[in-house]
Amino acid sequence: MQRPSTIATWNRNPADEEAMGAAHAPIWRRMIDVSVPHDLHDSTILDYGCNQGGFLRMLYDRNPFRGAVGIDIARESVARADLLKGHRPIEYKVGDKAAALNRTFDFAFSHEVLYLLPDLAQHAADMKTALRPGGAYVAAMGCHTDSAVWSRWRTVIVESSSIPIYDHSLDAVAKAFSAAGFTVAVRPLDLDAFMPVTVGSAYFPKVVDQLRYYSQDKVLFRFVRSP
Ligand SMILES: C[S@@+](CC[C@H](N)C(=O)[O-])C[C@H]1O[C@@H](n2cnc3c(N)ncnc32)[C@H](O)[C@@H]1O
């Protein structure tokens, strides 16, 4: 499958795209709780692969920031994000290059986007350009080859994703960002929430798969740009 520069929605089924934000909300909450201990009033934020923009809305409502940009290649999702942003100081833009925004950010985030990128070195270089020296990029990743459920997931996700997916290991991600001049750290997401159990789920055939995924397989990388 060719990788188009923009798409209408990431999920081939617009109803599933619409439902994604609610499903991801407990994860965004955890990302924020464990990676944003400081006041953000003077900070600028980038969300790479923002989809309908829910992460930045949640972040602003919990921890107000000076300004933020969300970028995504999914045109209809970005348009929806723009409609939903209300009074918040957020811009949503269609695009895949953080550097093309021609500004630098104090913090950047992405949630489940790295496995959709063919070239991790290129992404690391792009994010380096968009972060100020000392700035941090927190990337959440459960879709990787070291996850116990990945071989099952890649078959399920290929059916719904309108773009190709890639088999990156956690080590490949760490290597790409380290080579680009970031200090790399990692922790389990270690979700502290009750997550709904769907009997017969294609993602989690057994309850123990779900427990292990959210406590161990799904990780948060923190890449700090060297000063
Ligand atoms: C699995 S979804 C996650 C969306 C969102 N971060 C969330 O937590 O709900 C992945 C998103 O990454 C976007 N994406 C994929 N490749 C991209 C690229 N090269 N540049 C920007 N966004 C991209 C997709 O369009 C999709 O919205």
Ordered by start, the domain boundaries in the chain are: 14-225
Rounded to whole angstroms, the Cα distance separating 49 from 63 reads 20
pLDDT in tens, 42-96: 999 999 999 999 999 999 999 999 999 999 999 999 999 999 999 999 999 999 9
Whole-Å CA distances, 35 to 9, 63, 113, 124: 28, 12, 18, 19
Q: Minimal CA–CA distance to 166: which of 158, 174, 175?
A: 158
| Ligand 1 pocket at CB < 6 A | 10, 20-21, 24, 49-51, 55, 71-74, 77, 96, 111-113, 116-117
Q: Which two tokens stand for residue 131?
A: 């972060």
pLDDT for residue 168 is more than 80: yes
What CATH number does the domain located at 14-225 have? Answer: 3.40.50.150
Q: Which residue has the higher pLDDT, 25 or 227?
A: 25
Give pLDDT, residue 179: 98
pLDDT at residue 227 in the model:
81
Which pTM value belongs to this model?
0.97
DSSP assignment letter at 73: S
Distance 227 CA to ligand 1 centre (A): 28
**In this predicted structure, what is the pLDDT of residue 1?**
55
